[in-house]
Structures are given as C-alpha cells and as structure tokens.
Amino acid sequence: MNAVIDGIVRRHEAYDSNSRVYGFRYGLRALSQVSQKMLDDRILLSTDGKVATSMGTVTHVSQGGSVLGTFRLDRLDSPKNKNQLEHLLNNIEGLDVLYVIGGDGSMKAANFLSMEAKRLGRPISIVGIPKTMDNDILWVWQSFGFATAVEKAREIINSLSTEVQSNPRICVLQLFGSVSGFVVSHAVLSSQSDQCDVALIPEAHFTIKGLADKLLSRFRDDQGKIDESQLPWGMVVMAETAIPDDADTYKNEAGLSGDELAALDTYQAEDSYLDGQTSDELRSASLKLVVHGIRRELTRHFETVGIFTNEPRHILRATNPSFSDIIIGQRLGALAVDNAMAGYASFMVSQWLTEFVLVPLRLVSLGRKRIPEDGIFWKSVWAKTDQGNLLATSDCRDKHSAPDSSAMNP
C-alpha cells in the first residue's frame, strides 16, 4: 500500500506542483466521522511540489503495512450505517478525487459512495485501487501483495514440513481465503513435492472422512493395511472458511463456543457465498472442526495422534513486498491519477494479463473471484497433493458458489 500511496503522491506532483494531496488515517473510518475528528485524522502528504517525508511515503515505500493505516467499513448501504454515510458525503465536499485502496468491501463502499455523490450532484471522481492478498476481486488478474503472500506462505510450509517430520505430528496450517482459495492453492502448488498432504479451499467440497482417508494413505502398505505402529505425521493447508460437508457430524464435539456455532450455522444456511470479511468466530470454528475431525478419525487407528495448528495470516500481512509488488503498486497509483486527471470517475484501475485497464466500480461490486472446483487449475493442485476425489462427496452442494461469477474467473 505504501508503494501505491507513493505512486499517487508523486504523480500528482508531476501534474501540478501546487496540488495538495491528503491521506486519511485509517481510510474511510476518518471520513465517516464528524468533520472535526476527520480533520484530526487528515494528513498532508504533498504540497508545493514536495513529498511530506515525515509521513514516510518515501522511506517506507518498500515496506509492508501502510503509513496511513487501514480500516474496513462494510455495507454503507445498510440502515445501521446511515450516520456514517452522511458524514462521508459531507466530508468529501470540496475534494476533487478520492482514492480508495482496498478489497471487495472497500470497492463496494466506493461504488455506493460514488452513486450517492452523483445523486446529490457532488462533483468528485472516486477511484478504486484493488488491494487484497486473497486475490478475490473481480476483474483483477493478480492483485498486488498476492505474490508476496504466497511466497511467504511457501516458506512457512517448508519450515513446518521439517517440524512435522522431525517431531511426528499433523500440522493444520490456516491461511487467507475468506471465500477463495488462491493463496492456499498457489502456496501448495509451489511447495516441494510431498510436503503438503491436502489443500482445503472454500470452493471445493470435502468431508472429514475423506480428509482422514487421505492422511491415512501415507501409512498404508501395498495391501491397503495401515501400519498402526507408526507415529502419524502430515500437513493440511486450509483456507479460513474451508468447511467440511459433514460438519454437522462433528461440530457438537469440537469444543465450539456458542458464538462459533452461531457463525457456522449462519454460514451453512447462506444461499450465496460469504459477503464481507470472515469473522474470527467462523475462522476459529473451521479450524477447530478440521482439527477435531482429524483427531477423532485417526485415533481409530493410532494410539497417539499429535496435532498442532499454525495461523500465520498476520505474518503474511506484515511481510515486506516483493520487487514486483512494489512496481505494480506504484504503477497502479500513477495510472489511477492519470485517469482521474483525464476526467474518468467511478472506476477501478486494474492489471489484466499484460494490460492495465479501467473497470467500472459497479461491475467490481457484482461478486468475488473464485477457483472453479472442476477447473484445470484446481485439478493441478489435486495432482500435486494426490488428493484427487478422496475429498469429494456424493452430495455436492452449490450453496457457497458465487452467483454468475464462474465465467469471470481467470
């Protein structure tokens, strides 16, 4: 994000040395406050042709995180956010361009804010710049930060693989992926052969029994008999909302809290895929389900089953970006300015294959990008882990599929 901010600031300087570029601490949170509090969180990034180096946009351009901080503001169209929307509309008065750097929730907020500003006759160009390590924003080939996250996840898999073999246990590694398994699938696919036994993503149906069968396959002889004298070890890499189809069989024994059970029940009852950020309760519920299910099924065959979990999501978020992510970030920032200055409004700047394109915000808000369960890419992950149809069920449900988005998946 620092590279994007730096790209925006420097490009505006090139157009007009007298322009004033402000950053808002914690993003839309600052703009959704009363005017005085908003001014307290407004930071001057550039004026009179000079970058405000005190904010660190120069010195931090190659570092992770954000010098402005981040905050997620979901569902501006919700009645409960009416006051915040009013503050937002009041606070953007007088701004020529508002750059919103964020994921699908931020892009939806930017689209709704743009429509409301147009309805009220407010002359402002609202520009979206896609930011998500999940890589799940529609019409974005590969969002900045994604390659960095995958590379760090691959390093973690490599380290934990040494641990599970040296001290035989099952590792359940939970990575990003609220509705999409791009980080998990790419990290597993880029890992060394035989390091990962299973990849679990929200798009692909699986059962605990199928998962256990795959883990047990490591310990079967040529006749299919399990050597129960061994100490079981292996690695399962899962996304945040990889929920087994047979969750009801295990959830009451998995030690889930009341809030976790409620989050799981709500997710299972949804007619469409998860909207917005994954709650901590749903994230922990999915992890507990998988861990409990593995332990329950493997203890039928082994006297001792050691399992440990690892959740390095925030390590991935804080990792310094790769050179390619820095370059993409700065180019997106500069191109966002170029097109805003050219008179375009209510768009997201995006890289698609080898080209940079403008996508109307209303199209970005249609859904989220996902991995087709029956697509060639996911089958290549199957081939890497040799998990095949062991995780498939005879009762595949479509309730968590993104409506009308499969044709838009690369």
Could you give the residue numbers annotated as active site? 134
Extract the runs of DSSP E, i.e. beta strands, from 146-267: 170-175, 198-200, 234-239
* Tokens 């992510």 -> residue: 325
CA-closest candidate to residue 244, choices 211, 196, 281: 211
98 neighbors 30 (Cβ within 8 angstroms): no
Burial 136-150 (b: 16+ CB within 10 A, else e): bbbbbebbbbbbbbb
| Residues 140, 23: Cα–Cα separation, whole Å | 25
* Tokens 């990034």 -> residue: 45
Q: List the helix and strand counts (H, then E) for the chain.
A: 15, 11
* Tokens 């660190």 -> residue: 56
CA-closest candidate to residue 282, choices 247, 312, 237: 247
| Residues 149, 147: Cα–Cα separation, whole Å | 5
Burial 28-50 (b: 16+ CB within 10 A, else e): bbbbbbeeeebeebebebbeeee
Torsion of CA 178, 182, 185, 189, to 10 degrees: -150
335 neighbors 6 (Cβ within 8 angstroms): no
| Residues 70, 317: Cα–Cα separation, whole Å | 12
Q: What is the edge-to-edge ordering of all strands in the sheet holding 21-24? A: 21-24, 42-47, 50-51
Per-position DSSP letters for 284-344, written without gaps between them: HHHHHHHHHHHHHHHTTT-S---EEEE--HHHHHHSPPPHHHHHHHHHHHHHHHHHHHTT-
